[in-house]
């Protein structure tokens, strides 16, 4: 009889823990939905202001790059699907994707020119290397920008002032590879297996307001393009290297 009582108590304990875990997940999902909605509403006036400045010729040569960076980030954030419904659709392969054929090398250079403003502001050095020949891929251009922007933003955030971030696009044997490398804090070995999981953060107090969503979203977007992402790190204090492998446009020959 005592054994049955103990078993019943253990079952009730497990059920209570599962219920608390479920409530925590639901609370985070609701918070993310409200966060995304609020951010999108806040971005609308910024988008309108940028368009007005461009129409009235108020953007000088000195302001062209910063204004372009703001406009691009507003566009990316406005089409972001970080809400729970969007993430479920993304993982189920049902998220709307506007895939077209374009030159990845040219896109990488464009992204780098926009990110340079953030790197300069935080006193980081951004080094960009792309092959001299076009690399044709079929992908959603906007979401490809989001993948690279998020990886670069992480690298800039965790690299000390004066440090260097490398953005490389190379032609693999049968696929192009995008690599983002930094000399930042690195990742603890215990976190490497779960670094792409939702809400994973090593030190939330030093995350500059992040919620541990970015890398999880990047992974899902890469998978939505039938690609593969991995991270290499030799331990704390040794920086990180994120590699994204993407399928080629059919009929493309690698040089």
**Domain parsing of the chain, residue ranges:** 2-78, 99-245
pLDDT tens for the 255 residues of the chain, in order: 556 777 788 888 888 888 787 777 766 666 665 566 556 555 655 655 666 666 667 767 766 666 666 666 666 665 555 455 555 555 555 567 788 999 999 889 888 887 887 788 888 888 999 988 888 899 998 888 889 988 998 898 888 888 999 999 988 777 899 999 998 888 888 888 888 887 777 665 555 555 567 888 889 889 989 999 999 998 777 889 999 999 876 555 444
Please report how the helices 61-78 and 104-121 are oriented relative to each other, as an axis angle in degrees rounded to 10.
Answer: 110
pTM of the model as a whole: 0.67
What strand order describes the sheet that includes 241-245?
125-129, 164-171, 176-182, 241-245, 228-232
Q: Which option is the CATH number for 99-245: 1.25.40.10, 3.30.565.10, 3.30.365.10, 3.30.499.10?
A: 3.30.565.10
CA distance 78 to 88: 18
Q: Of 117, 124, 163, 145, which Cα lies nearest the Cα of 221?
A: 145
Residue 202 CA to residue 188 CA, distance in Å, equals 8
Torsion 177-180-185-187 (CA) sign? negative
């Amino acid at each position: 009889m005592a054994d049955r009582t103990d078993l019943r108590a253990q079952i009730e304990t497990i059920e209570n823990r599962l219920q608390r875990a479920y409530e925590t997940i639901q609370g985070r999902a609701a918070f993310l939905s409200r966060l995304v909605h609020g951010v999108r509403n806040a971005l609308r006036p910024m988008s309108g202001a940028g368009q007005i400045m461009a129409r009235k010729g108020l953007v000088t040569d000195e302001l062209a790059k910063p204004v372009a960076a703001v406009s691009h980030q507003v566009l990316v954030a406005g089409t972001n699907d970080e809400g729970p419904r969007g993430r479920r659709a993304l993982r189920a392969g049902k998220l709307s994707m506007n895939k077209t054929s374009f030159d990845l090398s040219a896109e990488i250079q464009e992204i780098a020119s926009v990110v340079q403003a953030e790197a300069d502001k935080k006193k980081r050095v951004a080094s960009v290397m792309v092959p001299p020949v076009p690399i044709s891929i079929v992908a959603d251009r906007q979401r490809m920008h989001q993948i690279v922007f998020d990886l670069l933003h992480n690298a800039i955030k965790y690299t000390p002032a004066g440090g260097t971030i490398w953005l490389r696009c190379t032609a693999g044997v049968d696929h192009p590879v995008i690599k983002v490398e930094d000399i930042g804090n690195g990742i603890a070995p215990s976190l490497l297996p779960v670094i792409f999981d939702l809400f994973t953060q090593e030190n939330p107090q030093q995350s500059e307001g992040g919620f541990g969503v970015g890398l999880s979203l990047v992974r899902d977007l890469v998978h939505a393009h039938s690609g593969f992402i991995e991270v290499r790190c030799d331990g704390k204090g040794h920086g990180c290297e994120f590699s994204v492998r993407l399928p080629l446009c059919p009929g493309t020959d690698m040089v």
